[in-house]
């Protein structure tokens, strides 16, 4: 698997994990803070694990995947609970 594909997969998995516990945090604001913390964690993991040379791979690649995965799982889990 290519390095860029691994970054996409990692950010998608982080989005799924954070999205699965975000409905239990109480408010959408706190859930937003959780996803921002997840993004910061993903940036740190990408730097440590992959050591990319381009800034786009560190900060941009997979960011939309992270937020979309988080939002879809958040809405799904919330609808199941309510």
What's the total number of domains in the chain? 1
Residue 8 belongs to domain spanning: 3-77
User: Is 28 within a domain?
Assistant: yes
User: Is 82 within a domain?
Assistant: no
User: Is 47 within a domain?
Assistant: yes
Split at pLDDT 50, 70, 90, the class of 28 is confident
pLDDT tens sequence across 10-23: 999 999 999 999 99
* Three-state secondary-structure class, residue 51: coil
Average confidence score pLDDT of the chain: 92
For residue 59, give Cα distances in angstroms to 8, 10, 50, 70, 75.
12, 13, 13, 17, 25
User: Is 35 within a domain?
Assistant: yes
Sign of CA dihedral 11, 12, 13, 14: positive
User: Is 22 within a domain?
Assistant: yes
Residue for token digits 């990408």? 46
């Amino acid at each position: 698997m290519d390095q860029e594909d691994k970054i996409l997969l990692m950010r998608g998995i982080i989005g799924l994990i954070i999205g699965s516990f975000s409905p239990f945090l109480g408010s959408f604001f706190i859930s937003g803070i959780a996803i921002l913390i997840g993004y910061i964690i993903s940036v740190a993991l990408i730097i440590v694990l992959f050591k990319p040379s381009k800034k786009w791979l560190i900060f941009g690649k997979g960011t939309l995947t992270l937020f979309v995965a988080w939002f879809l799982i958040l809405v799904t889990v919330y609808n199941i609970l309510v």
